[in-house]
Amino acid sequence: MKRRICVVVTARPSYSRIKSALLAIKKHPDLELQLVVAASALLERYGSVVDVMREDGLEPDAQVYMVVEGENLVTSAKSTGIGIVELATIFDNLKPDAVLSIADRYETIATAITGSYMNIPVIHVQGGEVTGSIDEKVRHAVTKLSNVHLVSNKGAYDRVVKMGEVEGSVYITGCPSIDLAKDVMNGMTYEDFDDLKRGVGAHIDFNSDYIMVMQHPVTNEWQEAQMQMTETLKAIEKCEYPAYWFWPNVDAGSDAGSKAIRTFREQGRCKNIRFLKNLPPEAFLYVLKKSMCLVGNSSVGIRESSYLGIPVVNIGSRQAGRERSANVIDVDYDENYILEAIKTQVTNGHYASSDIYGDGSAGERVADVLSKVEFNIDKKITY
Amino acid sequence: MKRRICVVVTARPSYSRIKSALLAIKKHPDLELQLVVAASALLERYGSVVDVMREDGLEPDAQVYMVVEGENLVTSAKSTGIGIVELATIFDNLKPDAVLSIADRYETIATAITGSYMNIPVIHVQGGEVTGSIDEKVRHAVTKLSNVHLVSNKGAYDRVVKMGEVEGSVYITGCPSIDLAKDVMNGMTYEDFDDLKRGVGAHIDFNSDYIMVMQHPVTNEWQEAQMQMTETLKAIEKCEYPAYWFWPNVDAGSDAGSKAIRTFREQGRCKNIRFLKNLPPEAFLYVLKKSMCLVGNSSVGIRESSYLGIPVVNIGSRQAGRERSANVIDVDYDENYILEAIKTQVTNGHYASSDIYGDGSAGERVADVLSKVEFNIDKKITY
Amino acid sequence: MKRRICVVVTARPSYSRIKSALLAIKKHPDLELQLVVAASALLERYGSVVDVMREDGLEPDAQVYMVVEGENLVTSAKSTGIGIVELATIFDNLKPDAVLSIADRYETIATAITGSYMNIPVIHVQGGEVTGSIDEKVRHAVTKLSNVHLVSNKGAYDRVVKMGEVEGSVYITGCPSIDLAKDVMNGMTYEDFDDLKRGVGAHIDFNSDYIMVMQHPVTNEWQEAQMQMTETLKAIEKCEYPAYWFWPNVDAGSDAGSKAIRTFREQGRCKNIRFLKNLPPEAFLYVLKKSMCLVGNSSVGIRESSYLGIPVVNIGSRQAGRERSANVIDVDYDENYILEAIKTQVTNGHYASSDIYGDGSAGERVADVLSKVEFNIDKKITY
Amino acid sequence: MKRRICVVVTARPSYSRIKSALLAIKKHPDLELQLVVAASALLERYGSVVDVMREDGLEPDAQVYMVVEGENLVTSAKSTGIGIVELATIFDNLKPDAVLSIADRYETIATAITGSYMNIPVIHVQGGEVTGSIDEKVRHAVTKLSNVHLVSNKGAYDRVVKMGEVEGSVYITGCPSIDLAKDVMNGMTYEDFDDLKRGVGAHIDFNSDYIMVMQHPVTNEWQEAQMQMTETLKAIEKCEYPAYWFWPNVDAGSDAGSKAIRTFREQGRCKNIRFLKNLPPEAFLYVLKKSMCLVGNSSVGIRESSYLGIPVVNIGSRQAGRERSANVIDVDYDENYILEAIKTQVTNGHYASSDIYGDGSAGERVADVLSKVEFNIDKKITY
């Protein structure tokens, strides 16, 4: 009988980070994929990722609306609580042999808790990394709730072991997000430009030089989110390059972020910017591959961009602590610093590819480990 | 303005472990206690701990029913999810400056998650210890969600620091449960014997020699819970000492445990056993202090009993890994081993008092730390 | 394509009232049964009705734990709220063409609300009847939320129409519970006496004369539940007939009811009573058919007993207002009145069969209506 | 001791409909107001009604985030379920003597269910009216769950009684929304024009002639919501009058409605329209009083506008069945019909004031009834 691996996808970036593993699990002769699509991955406001998944041949076994509206700290907690209540019923009905929790978004702890409490082995992908903000708490707490750890690199491996996890339970698979980047590096193109037209704002010639922006609110400082966004908006306006700007995730503070953007637009500014909700993962990477520079605080700048060699201007504390390659310049929330860094990066051009987050075969390694590892729900700290 | 410290008490044993700290916080001139009573602490089936608290002068600011019935693994998860949903609303309305999460029961992670996600500093009492079963996952995950750690001893301190917590955030206060034990050691007596009469079964002369039993289901092995309980029932029956047996906690498996007891009773056995729901914390310790031996798998055997010098027969894996004093004999789930160990312990008599879980001043130390520590919600692993 | 009819079964008595319809829906060539088993129907404490259903060939498509423990008025509301949250996800995933809500238990409004809000036609079985207590509010509210009404008799029909429902949406099918009674009348026997042995208390010779008791707490008077139960216990004790007593439902107050029974038993009383958790529906009716008299406040006394001609002593207000046949004597909560009525009924012996709650073909009529009715979610009061 | 009346306000329009009653309850010597603000009344996206309430001197005793994001039919149900779970805890802690449920929005049934199940008398304001869509189901179901009915007019009174409610439990108080209209009729002005400037779109001279638009999605037809909105947008564009357009409520379909507006704006159309989120209730009525005509499907057109004599173009089925005065012209979703009706109404000018929804003293009557009525939780249908 096949091992049933239940994966809960809750957001657009989580899908990018797990897609190649989902496809590999689905294809593996000894595994059965049970797919639950939940939270902002179902919401039109965040680009209806579930539709992208269906187009990729990934039909959900269950879908769960669980985001409580408010986009503040209270509702982050509530959404997570509802997630646990509902995932418990879903796991009880689907009866998976293991559940997989992705990375460190706040609501993903629902998968780890529900699995743990139901004596289902918990697999964690992308543990052991270091960042600022609430993600840091969530990531390491999920490590302590998990039975198998599939990490991106040796630094993450060492950290997970140091936290008291048994060595034999930690595997360096690389990050599945790099698998998609590899396909793009290997010449995969993307032709359906309708998505690029769907946004609002400037009309950009996709074949010209352009930059990209992805900036998320930093939860622990959410009241400053509007100011932070505004500094970047001003820098992008001044640099004058055509820019594709991707709307922020569902997170406490994203309303504040969105507000800064809307205010700017009402003032008739942002004339060089096109705002997009989202693209399918590969399309996004293809557009990124062709860009001059990525600006913001997305982990894409640290992770996929290191492999693709894209120059990155990383703003603020959100990625603080995460291992990085030579492609990143860190700056504070300050219009002038941001502008200067953009110019430096554009002048520098693309960097050499780095494999610090994987070599592009993570998905298959994940499926391979899941087909062979001995599942065990008992665990004890090693010291 | 006083610092508002919100404590969520969810069960009978949690109350024993935090009572002296609650009273010290309430009394402290710079602190305001916000008390939330929830889960099994409200249920008559588990002894209506909330009523005991009221008698101790601790009036709840809010109460929350959150236990989903079923006493299985699915409902443990669901209860926790509901806890998060409701605590979010309660914290949003009470606006505490910090929340305190007690030890490692499954539902206590709700306090740590809700506090963390709402950017409220999380205080954890009794982290850094080691046991088997789901408690182990919960305890260390709560450590990674917490900002201040108030631990029982140096071993716990070292473990919390090794997990990557900043040294300055960890304080050895001792366990508040020892404070109550100290009062009892210092001659506090308990006169209201109505509680002892309230149970069912044998009539025991409180002034004669007797033993005590407290055995909880071990969640990760819950289908075996009935067998485990039965081995102990048989051993107690054979030893022939009068025995006070305390009903198990609300936990996955407690129904199975209860069933074993009921089956035994229906067969007209257990003639030397009186079954009790619960006692107020000090009354319990007073009865413990006067007993010849404690049998079962309660942490009381490891913790309070080390201070009181009570001989303990500790059964199975539930307390595996927890630091212990000389008073404990560990045995497997086996009628004969249990019986033999009881005889050895009764023959040995009481042990010398140990302070490995504290010297009896933990409550005041907890309040003192909470009045002075600089709260900070940002944290990052130290390596 | 078959019409998907989703039925949510939440308790033991609801199953008896819908079983024949479930089997008829399952068998009907144009219908597909989607079965959700939830709430106390999953709990061992209430006899694990889900296991009985499986033995009847009814495998659930989903199961949902939703009873919040406390058995009080607060938790009745909470359980219902959780039911709505979870049924929404389940209906979203099962995509039924209609949902069926059974009778008037508090948690059944969850089915009606969730269906209504999701624009799924709501079928209500057993609307239009009259009783006391919270059931009365629930039943008529569900009528106003429903699109198709399948009622027991002309009185119910008239009431539903008077409340402003369109005549064409109301069908007199009879109550499906009578279908099972008809099978028993037609000679169906029940041989598996293990269930009768499983309870606790007196050993009763099933072939001798005996009476039966089923008494539920009356929610609006729940603090009096213990007194109410005690009066009946005393009357049954005095009448001296062997008695099968069935434990109360999960309801606010059932703990109080259970407590009265346990107190009585601890006093060594109830020597003529055997306490049973539950029986499969037909087994129950078979035992009822053979009994001299049914005592308590169950709707079985009004409903199935009218068809079977069983003498009934109906206590208190719970069935007030429900249409009844000649077989019922109504008495107040009073030991002496109850005792006297029992004697009168036993002396009288069985009554003639009445069809005021149906002629025994309701299940097939229900399936027939569901296969043909034009579903329509828009409705407007007729005046 | 004062009677504690707990009112749950869940949305902007509900506040307008209850404000005068809230103030009258607060002022009444025998009543204590317990105010719970929940759902979209807390959300910035819907104008943070809670802030308006605070400015009116109404400080919430508790606030509850409960809107599950998705704005579809699944999440309407879920939001309601969460509301019940949380209101149960809140009522358990606030211990009101009665709870008041406002009108017929989907989530308001949570107040009625929770109150009913907790044996708290339920007061319903604005029952007995007739409309289309899901509101119709909700309104009458709430009537059947309620113990006291405070209705707008004789038609509503008759309907509630016909549904089987006891005559003595129904009071014609008028609708409290008319009280605010009366203040405006009596010369109350509104000077803080900042709110009018806060929207987006055309700059309108408030002292010139203008029209107003308020159009909500019709839930049972939500996939058509975008088309419906577009017809109105085209008619308003063609009529060329300056127009204040108020964004729709949080409801399944409001995203579709919003999308139609955004699409129109992106095309550079709507040059005569200013889009506003919301105004404080009296400000809104002041602006309405000065307008030439109200277009859309808001109940404000039927209710407050009848008192103010404002010409109304009522579109589609949403208000079908509601009693109306001479000021309303009903049209279908059709650009041309809407345009023609606007012209007719502007030409006609204001109508005479009507009191079919009250004479402007409803708030005080509500408080008066609540201070005197004998609360009783038992009820039984009258036939």
Chains that touch A (3 or more CB pairs under 8 A): B, C, D
pLDDT band at A235 (very low <50, low <70, confident <90, very high): very high
Interatomic CA distance for residues A48 and A84, integer angstroms: 22
pLDDT above 60 (res D355): yes
CA distances from C229 to A19, C71, C258, C310, C313 (A): 60, 16, 9, 22, 14
| Contact indicator for A363, A23 with CB cutoff of 8 Å | yes
Please report which helix (H) or strand (E) contains residue D196, including its range.
Answer: helix D194-197
Least reliable range by pLDDT among A279-283, B240-244, D305-309: A279-283
Strands A98-102 and C98-102: unpaired
Q: Report DSSP state, residue C247.
A: P
Q: What angle in degrees, to the nearest 10, is found between the helix axes of B109-117 and A73-94?
A: 140
pLDDT above 70 (res C222): no
| Contact indicator for B147, B119 with CB cutoff of 8 Å | no
Residues of C in contact with B43 (CB under 8 A): 69-70
Q: Report DSSP state, residue A333.
A: S
| Contact indicator for A87, A109 with CB cutoff of 8 Å | no
Residues of B in contact with D82 (CB under 8 A): 85
Q: Taking CA atoms, what residue in B is nearest to C79?
A: B68
Chain C within 8 Å of A347 (Cβ-Cβ)? no
Interatomic CA distance for residues D298 and D314, integer angstroms: 8
B193-217 confidence digits (pLDDT tens): 666 777 788 888 888 999 999 998 8
pLDDT above 80 (res C254): no
The SS3 of residue A72 is coil
Angle at D11 between CA D5 and CA D16, to 5 degrees: 75
Chain D within 8 Å of C227 (Cβ-Cβ)? no
pLDDT above 60 (res D381): yes
Q: Testing the interface with B: which of C45, C68, C69, C249 to mutate, by most B Cβ within 10 A? A: C69
Superfamily of domain B184-348: Glycogen Phosphorylase B; (3.40.50.2000)
Residue C333: φ, ψ to 5°? -70, 85
Q: What is the pLDDT of residue D250?
A: 57
Q: What does the domain layout of chain D look like in residue ranges? A: 3-175+358-372, 184-348
Chain C within 8 Å of B42 (Cβ-Cβ)? yes
pLDDT above 80 (res C32): yes
> How close is the nearest chain B Cα to the Cα of D55, in Å?
19
| Contact indicator for B162, B149 with CB cutoff of 8 Å | no
Question: Six-digit token pair at B23?
Answer: 């009273």
Longest Cα separation, chain B: 61
Neighbour order of strands in the sheet with B294-296: B200-201, B273-276, B243-246, B211-214, B294-296, B312-315, B328-331
Question: Six-digit token pair at C67?
Answer: 């009873």
C85-104 confidence digits (pLDDT tens): 999 999 999 999 999 999 99
Check CB contact under 8 Å for C43 and B74. Answer: no
Signed CA dihedral, A287, A290, A295, A298: sign only: positive
Please report which helix (H) or strand (E) contains residue D54, including its range.
Answer: helix D49-55
CA distances from A321 to A354, B95, B143, B381 (A): 18, 31, 20, 9
Check CB contact under 8 Å for C62 and A89. Answer: yes
Q: Taking CA atoms, what residue in D is nearest to A85?
A: D82
Chain C within 8 Å of A85 (Cβ-Cβ)? yes
Angle at D332 between CA D329 and CA D335, to 5 degrees: 100
pTM flag (> 0.95): no
The SS3 of residue D63 is strand
> How close is the nearest chain A Cα to the Cα of C69, in Å?
15
Bridge partners, residue D171, by sequence:
D150
C343, amino acid identity: K
Least reliable range by pLDDT among A161-175, B230-244, C191-205: C191-205
Least reliable range by pLDDT among A300-314, C41-55, C243-257: C243-257
Q: Taking CA atoms, what residue in B is nearest to D60?
A: B93
Q: What is the pLDDT of residue D192?
A: 66
Burial of residue C97, with CB atoms counted within 10 A of its CB: 0-12 exposed, 13-18 middle, 19 or more buried? middle
Interatomic CA distance for residues C111 and C379, integer angstroms: 18
Query: What distance, in Å, lies between the first and last C-alpha atoms of chain D?
Result: 37
What's the residue count for chain C? Answer: 383
CA distances from C142 to C151, D114, D170 (A): 13, 15, 21
pLDDT band at C263 (very low <50, low <70, confident <90, very high): confident
Residues of C in contact with B72 (CB under 8 A): 65
Question: Which of B70-97 are b and which e, b meaning 16 or more Cβ less than 10 Å from the residue's Cβ?
Answer: bbbbbbbbbbbbbbbbbbbbbbbbbebb
Cross-chain CB nearest to D74 (options A44, A65, A68): A65
Residues of B in contact with C252 (CB under 8 A): none
Cross-chain CB nearest to B200 (options C66, C82, C266): C266
Q: What is the pLDDT of residue C51?
A: 94
Question: Six-digit token pair at C220?
Answer: 């609006």
Rg of the Cα atoms in chain D: 20
Superfamily of domain B3-175+358-372: Glycogen Phosphorylase B; (3.40.50.2000)
Chain B within 8 Å of A161 (Cβ-Cβ)? no
Question: Six-digit token pair at D355?
Answer: 């009191």
Chain B within 8 Å of C4 (Cβ-Cβ)? no
CA distances from D284 to D15, D281, D287, D305, D350 (A): 12, 5, 5, 12, 17
Interatomic CA distance for residues C67 and C80, integer angstroms: 8
Signed CA dihedral, A368, A371, A372, A378: sign only: positive
Bridge partners, residue C122, by sequence:
C99
The 3-state secondary structure of C283-296 reads HHHHHHHCCCCEEE
What value does the mean pLDDT take over residues B11-27?
95
Signed CA dihedral, A53, A55, A60, A64: sign only: positive
Among residues B296, B309, B301, the alpha carbon closest in space to that of B348 is found at B309
Mean pLDDT score of chain B, rounded to an integer? 92
| Contact indicator for D70, A42 with CB cutoff of 8 Å | yes
Chain A within 8 Å of D200 (Cβ-Cβ)? yes
Tell me which of B201 and C223 has the higher pLDDT: B201
CA atoms within 13 A on the CB side of D23: 17
Residues of A in contact with C62 (CB under 8 A): 89, 93
Please report which helix (H) or strand (E) contains residue A161, including its range.
Answer: helix A154-162
